[in-house]
A and B are shown apart, each in its own frame.
Chain A
Amino acid sequence: MNIFSEFWATYGSVVQFALINMLLGISIYFTLYTGLLSLANAGFMGIGAYVSAALTIHAGTPFPVSLLVGALSAALIGWLLGLPVLRLRDVYLAIATLGFGEIVRITAVNFDKFSGLTLLGGAQGLDGIPKLTTPVSLLFVLFILCIFLVQLHRSRAGRALAAIRRDESVAATMGIDVYQYKLLAFVLGAFVAGLAGGFSAHLTRFVGPNDFSFSAAVNILAFAVLGGTLHWSGALVGAAILTILPEALRFMKEYRGIVNGVILVLVIIYLPHGLVNPKWIRGIFRRKEAR
């Protein structure tokens, strides 16, 4: 017990960050699994963080309510953004979502000035958020999410998303409403990113306008790409490795940016399916069924 508490005192926050990053990895997995490169997730995380933090501080709502409203706000904005931009094809979608984090930043910085309220704290950000995120709450949400993902992939909707990634026009000629399903994946991703934002705000006790920039979007992308986007567990593995490794290896912390970048390039070139290959997982299940 003593050893455990000692371990927790040193590494507890790292574990919690890893769990939050797993949520973020899953948030971008939804779109990547559908074959969409959206770089808006850092922005959605920002929306979830700001909304939930402002609710907790200014309205005193219970943590689960703040969290849920934050995530729903991110999903709503995701829906509004997705309506026009998901009509665009590959490169254009990436371009259209690239600047979204910047819009969130500009809005956060200027919101108080233009509205005359003191809600988001302008350029200074929101400070003094109560620390309400617990490892148990994170694990609980992650667990629910994993069950949801398992069920999603067994369902009609999950098959439609997989079909769209492989061949959009063939999927369409099979009666799949490609646009609506893309919107579904996009909004689901926004919701989960919003959740992650809420957890993060109530863990670090701070939300600033500069936390959701392009480099944050790239970090999230790296989680999913390293782990692989053919199976949802890839996002978990990728997030865990990229959060814990820099803590374990000092040099990696200093060069975190370079490591992330090199990983993106190397994985895409030499390991296009990422670390987690669904064939192995299916193989394990087969063996079980055969028994």
Chain B
Amino acid sequence: MFWQQVVNAIWLGAVYSLFALGYTLVFGVLGILNLAHPSLYMWGAFIGLVCVTTLHLPIWLALPIAMLGSGLLGVLLDRIAFKPLRARNAPHLATLISSIGASIVLINVAQGIFSAQVSRFPFDIFPVRVLKFGSVSVTLLQLTILGISMLIMIFLRWLIMGTRQGQAMRAVAHNAVTAARLGVPVDRIIMQTFFIAGALAGAAGVLLGLAFNSISPFMGGPMNLKGLTVIVLGGLGNIEGAVVGGFILAFSEVMSVAYLSSDLRDAVSFILLLIILLVRPNGLLGRASVKRA
């Protein structure tokens, strides 16, 4: 029983981390808390769904297409809702409100196109196979989700720490003005940051949509609170922190549902969020590793 819960928490944590990475990346590089990030997650799930149902593409092709789509949507979001504010050096409050407005638009447009009903992937989209390890059972889908999430996270780490792009991104995170003076194409780096963040959200959308087989315009709402909990746990802007936070939240949720009460699942993330905000507002690992590195 216990080990089964551990396994459940591990793959769930991987997806939470995936979702939260983009959220925290944008904050780390630009200091923007993009409350429309969960809407990109939802759009990713829908793009994946359309690829599979309308275009009859296989799921392994739908995932990258969804990532591309939600990544581009992320760039568009920045151009419309954030860039004008950045140009004016507007206060934090303005950026937050703008991102809230953008998220409402994205949700309602999705509702108009895909209806408010819950949509599902076709049943046979992924082979249903259960693997048994002693008393612990894992589905092939869960293993695949875990594997893909891990691959994407390793790729992201390499991108930020091991490439020129990543170096430029860290320079912008540290100080955009200085970076521009040193010849870093700041505007392009910002676009890339939003693209990566959107793509990560989209990947999380498709994977969680597959896992729970439930996709709706409102799926971003509960995820938003989870995402915020994860990135605050890890420290806003902290890449490694988001991964650690994702697993902590997943473990807390899975364990409290298993051993306390399922009514508490939704409250767990908020309580965790409040505690961490009050005790260690800079998170367990401190702020903005993008900046420090």
Direct A–B touching, Cβ under 8 Å: yes
Chain B's interface size range is 35 or more
- Cβ of A91 within 8 Å of any chain B Cβ, yes or no, is yes
A225 x B97 contact (CB < 8 A): yes
B97 x A257 contact (CB < 8 A): no
Q: A89: shortest Cβ distance to chain B, in Å? A: 8
List 3 tightest A-B contacts by C-beta distance, closest first: A264-B101, A261-B104, A257-B108
Q: A88: shortest Cβ distance to chain B, in Å? A: 6
Report chain B residues within 8 Å CB of A215. 104
B97 x A268 contact (CB < 8 A): yes
Q: Quick one: which of B93, B267, B274 has the most chain A CB within 10 A? A: B93
Offer 23 A-B interface pairs, CB within 8 angstroms, sorted by A: A32-B93, A37-B92, A88-B277, A91-B236, A92-B232, A92-B281, A95-B33, A95-B273, A98-B224, A102-B266, A102-B267, A110-B263, A213-B221, A214-B224, A225-B97, A255-B108, A257-B107, A258-B104, A261-B101, A263-B101, A268-B94, A268-B101, A269-B98
- Cβ of A272 within 8 Å of any chain B Cβ, yes or no, is yes
Q: Which stretch in B45-53, B80-88, B238-246 binds the other chain? A: B80-88
- Cβ of A103 within 8 Å of any chain B Cβ, yes or no, is yes
A261 x B103 contact (CB < 8 A): yes
Q: Which residues of A in the span 203-222 have a Cβ within 8 Å of any Cβ on B?
A: 213-215, 218, 221-222
B96 x A94 contact (CB < 8 A): yes
B109 x A258 contact (CB < 8 A): yes
Report chain A residues within 8 Å CB of B224. 98, 214
A269 x B92 contact (CB < 8 A): no
- Cβ of A247 within 8 Å of any chain B Cβ, yes or no, is no
B97 x A264 contact (CB < 8 A): yes
- Cβ of A238 within 8 Å of any chain B Cβ, yes or no, is no
Inter-chain CA distance A214–B225, complex, in Å, is 11
Minimum CB distance partner of A269 in chain B: B84
Minimum CB distance partner of A107 in chain B: B267
Q: B280: shortest Cβ distance to chain A, in Å? A: 11
- Cβ of B102 within 8 Å of any chain A Cβ, yes or no, is yes
- Cβ of A85 within 8 Å of any chain B Cβ, yes or no, is yes
Q: B90: shortest Cβ distance to chain A, in Å? A: 7
Report chain A residues within 8 Å CB of B179. none
A99 x B273 contact (CB < 8 A): yes
Minimum CB distance partner of B220 in chain A: A214
Cβ-defined partner of B278 (8 Å) among A84, A258, A268: A84
Chain A's interface size range is 35 or more
Inter-chain CA distance A158–B210, complex, in Å, is 53
A258 x B85 contact (CB < 8 A): no
- Cβ of A35 within 8 Å of any chain B Cβ, yes or no, is yes
Q: B42: shortest Cβ distance to chain A, in Å? A: 14
B97 x A260 contact (CB < 8 A): no
B277 x A99 contact (CB < 8 A): no
- Cβ of B228 within 8 Å of any chain A Cβ, yes or no, is yes
Q: B136: shortest Cβ distance to chain A, in Å? A: 31
B267 x A103 contact (CB < 8 A): yes
Contact A268 B266, CB 8 Å, known A98-B225, A221-B100, A261-B103: no
Q: A250: shortest Cβ distance to chain B, in Å? A: 15
Contact A221 B97, CB 8 Å, known A95-B228, A98-B228, A103-B267: yes
Q: B212: shortest Cβ distance to chain A, in Å? A: 19
- Cβ of A145 within 8 Å of any chain B Cβ, yes or no, is no
- Cβ of B270 within 8 Å of any chain A Cβ, yes or no, is yes
- Cβ of A65 within 8 Å of any chain B Cβ, yes or no, is no
- Cβ of B111 within 8 Å of any chain A Cβ, yes or no, is yes
- Cβ of B105 within 8 Å of any chain A Cβ, yes or no, is yes
Report chain A residues within 8 Å CB of B103. 261
Cβ-defined partner of B101 (8 Å) among A91, A92, A98, A265: A265
Q: Which residues of B in the span 77-132 have a Cβ within 8 Å of any Cβ on A?
A: 80-81, 84-85, 88, 90, 92-94, 96-98, 100-109, 111-112
Mark interface residues in B139-174 (1 if CB within 8 Å of A CB, else 0).
000000000000000000000000000000000000
Q: A35: shortest Cβ distance to chain B, in Å? A: 7
Q: Quick one: which of A221, A225, A255, A269 has the most chain B CB within 10 A? A: A269
A268 x B85 contact (CB < 8 A): yes
Inter-chain CA distance A37–B93, complex, in Å, is 6
Report chain A residues within 8 Å CB of B102. 261, 265
A106 x B267 contact (CB < 8 A): yes
Mark interface residues in A185-217 (1 if CB within 8 Å of B CB, else 0).
000000000000000000000000000011100
Minimum CB distance partner of B105 in chain A: A261
Cβ-defined partner of A269 (8 Å) among B33, B85, B232: B85
Contact A92 B270, CB 8 Å, known A258-B105, A262-B101: no
Q: A30: shortest Cβ distance to chain B, in Å? A: 14
- Cβ of A77 within 8 Å of any chain B Cβ, yes or no, is no
Report chain B residues within 8 Å CB of A106. 263, 266-267
Inter-chain CA distance A92–B235, complex, in Å, is 11
Inter-chain CA distance A29–B271, complex, in Å, is 27
Minimum CB distance partner of B87 in chain A: A269
B277 x A95 contact (CB < 8 A): yes
Q: B28: shortest Cβ distance to chain A, in Å? A: 13
